Structure 1
Amino acid sequence: MDHDDERSEHGSTDRRRFLKCMAWAGAGTLWTMHAGVLQARMLGAQAQAQDGTGVAGDALKDATFSFVQVSDSHIGFTKAPNPDVTGTFKAALARIDAQPVQPDFIIHTGDLTHLSRPDEFDTVQQLMRSSRTQRAFFVPGEHDVIGDNGREFFHRFGEGQTEGGWYSFDHRGVHFVALVNVLNLKGGGLGWLGPDQLAWLKQDLAARSSETPIVVFAHMPLWSLYPAWGWGTDDAGEAMTMLRRFGSVTVLNGHIHQIQQKVEGQITFHTARSTAYPQPAPGVGPGPGPLKEVAPGQLASYLGVREVRHVQAGNTLALTEEALS
């Protein structure tokens, strides 16, 4: 047996073990937003009983609708620490399909593919079509616009969007805004919205009451998470100024492959796990990129999906983090 065959056999064993691990899932955390402040509660009756408030149970029981965020599937990536990103994306979708109450839709916050190749986009479309949740919304990541400025992405996933690719929609009293911040990147790789998109956003929000719950989603962070690594958006401050008059604003993004949260007044920011591979914590190590030094059997604990439930009372959003192990 040569070294390549040995690695192949070892990789196959690891893959089988990994996919078996992903049949299990942690209880997760329920995030409930009250006046712009996040409170974390472990899911389950035991946590509710310990707390004594019943808020966790009520948030689940009284949810008017839910949706799921997935991010950074990077279909086409074949290296360490995850040479089978298609398998892990399938596992993430299986987690969604296994929910006792199916979400209303899925939001994918970018980097569907790794190299913007047609066959990679084909795989994403096929996997999404196999999900029980058929309605889905997408924004591009920087890996989805390689070489063609997003032409292939927008051709496949841009139905109903504006010429620039950004769009909005309403669902059961909540206004959703999809922003594109991966074209014309700024110094250091920072995201950029641009004057045309900001003018559109101002007009889009103008007719909304300040009591309307707003959910904004984009690929790159819309706050200065770690600009030295390009983890931010150069002109996001202008967009946030427009959003400050609203009583409940939730901002979702991907790109950094890990969970980070921030609260600024009534605006809460949430980054998401990837379904492909983790990246280092901000500022840890020489720079961003796949975190290759992952202990055997631990990869699935870095990957996951996010379920968001809208709770009618107080227009709160409850966020549940689901790791794939």
Structure 2
Amino acid sequence: MAKTAADDQIKGVGRRDVLECMVWAGTGVLWTVSGGVPHSIGLIGEAAAAEAVSGFTFLQMSDSHIGFDKAANPDALGTLREAVAKVKAMPVKPSFIIHTGDITHLSRPAEFDNADKVFGETGLQVHWVPGEHDIIDEDRGKAYLDRYGKGAKGAGWYSYDDHGVHFIGLVNVVDLKAGGLGNLGAEQLAWLEADLKGRSNSTPIVVFSHIPLYVLYREWGWGTDDGQRALDLLKRFGSVTVLNGHIHQLAQKVEGKMTFHTALSTAFPQPAPGSAPSPGPMLVPADQLRSKLGLSTVTVMQGNKPLAIIDKTLAG
């Protein structure tokens, strides 16, 4: 596998117990983790993947940026429709979708309306967390909370249980720190500690947020200022999967018993860390755009085992 500019950046941010850090590109790569080391099973279809592991599946989708219409992708709503068409064509329907933020580009009502309409075509429940682009309305996130925050705490954090897995949606896009680093805040961290209290160490945990909880690339604000405090609360559990969006490219690493996965956008790509003067929409030839966009299928296996993730691009 070719080394990318992001490999060195990711390897530099983990603690000493990081066993392996990887960035994947391409379609249909099923990877699983055994003994803390990711293993590629190969390029296989989703039906074969479902047979390879037992359990239930859900989808991660991210960074739809409905309303974006610049040169990097003049039709972000159209590429979201393409992603949803892939979901509708899946032979085995996933249990639900987790969307890791930036549903919209400018938090406008029409953008939320369009997103709701397209995601509604999947027939699946969607669990949301906001991105920074979802809370830039005049009321600083009221539009997002009115639609997606019913029953949530604070700025929209919550948890739920499904198939024996404990899912936690965190919000780290409010009151961003210097350089754009995410922030959880004392209130949310106290809630997280209480939410985890009393849960068995063997409980599989899936955490999802918009910005990475670890600091992937500080210079571009790709990380969470107080994210380590959340990770410290999670490290006692035997299987923890941490999902995020924000950087619009695949980035994966394993640290102890935690697996971190950043999903592709359905709207536009961004440059690898340090490969450009700044982050932002990256213009690629039109015939390459769909190879940079996609979604992820996550399979939860029976027992206290790591999750298997298939990343698939719109070109696949």
How does the TM-score come out when normalised to structure 2?
0.88
- Give the counterpart of 1:82 among 42, 56, 73: 73
Is residue 2:161 matched to residue 1:170? yes
Q: Could you say which residue in structure 1 is the equivalent of 2:287? A: 297
Partner letter of residue 133 of structure 2?
H
Partner letter of residue 68 of structure 2?
F
Partner letter of residue 266 of structure 1?
K
Shift of 1:33: 2.3
- Give the counterpart of 2:188 among 194, 197, 204: 197
Q: Could you say which residue in structure 2 is the equivalent of 1:225? A: 216
Cα offsets for 1:138-177 (capped at 9, x unmatched) = 0000000003221100110112211331000000111000
Q: Secondary structure at the match of 2:287?
A: coil
Q: Secondary structure at the match of 1:283?
A: coil
Q: Secondary structure at the match of 2:150?
A: coil
**Pair 1:314–1:120, CA change in 2 (3 A):** same
Identity %: 55
Shift of 1:130: 1.4
In 2, Cα distance between equivalents of 1:59 and 1:87:
28
Partner letter of residue 143 of structure 1?
H
4+ long deviations beyond 6 Å:
none
Q: Could you say which residue in structure 2 is the equivalent of 1:131? A: 122
Is residue 2:101 matched to residue 1:105? no
In 2, Cα distance between equivalents of 1:285 and 1:226:
13
CA contact (8 A) 2:53 2:301 kept: yes
Q: Could you say which residue in structure 2 is the equivalent of 1:322? A: 312
- Give the counterpart of 1:273 among 245, 264, 268: 264
In 1, Cα distance between equivalents of 2:197 and 2:32:
27
Whichever structure has more helix as a proportion of its residues is 1
In 1, Cα distance between equivalents of 2:53 and 2:303:
8
CA contact (8 A) 2:61 2:296 kept: yes
- Which structure 1 segments of 5+ residues have no match? 1-25, 46-55
In 1, Cα distance between equivalents of 2:155 and 2:199:
22
Q: Could you say which residue in structure 1 is the equivalent of 2:62? A: 71
Which protein is bigger by CA-based radius of gyration?
1
Shift of 1:61: 4.4
How does the TM-score come out when normalised to structure 1?
0.85
Is residue 2:115 matched to residue 1:114? no
- Which structure 2 segments of 5+ residues have no match? 1-25
In 2, Cα distance between equivalents of 1:266 and 1:289:
32
Partner letter of residue 38 of structure 1?
P
In 1, Cα distance between equivalents of 2:50 and 2:28:
15
Is residue 2:232 matched to residue 1:256? no
In 1, Cα distance between equivalents of 2:154 and 2:61:
24
CA contact (8 A) 2:210 2:246 kept: yes
In 2, Cα distance between equivalents of 1:85 and 1:283:
25
In 2, Cα distance between equivalents of 1:27 and 1:285:
25
Q: Could you say which residue in structure 1 is the equivalent of 2:29? A: 29
- Give the counterpart of 2:201 among 202, 210, 221: 210
Shift of 1:314: 4.1
CA contact (8 A) 2:222 2:247 kept: yes
Partner letter of residue 37 of structure 2?
V
Is residue 2:46 matched to residue 1:40? no
Shift of 1:196: 0.3
In 2, Cα distance between equivalents of 1:315 and 1:75:
36
Partner letter of residue 298 of structure 1?
Q
Shift of 1:132: 2.9
**Pair 1:101–1:58, CA change in 2 (3 A):** closer
CA contact (8 A) 1:189 1:229 kept: yes
CA contact (8 A) 1:223 1:232 kept: yes
Shift of 1:262: 1.4
CA contact (8 A) 2:154 2:188 kept: no
In 2, Cα distance between equivalents of 1:290 and 1:70:
18
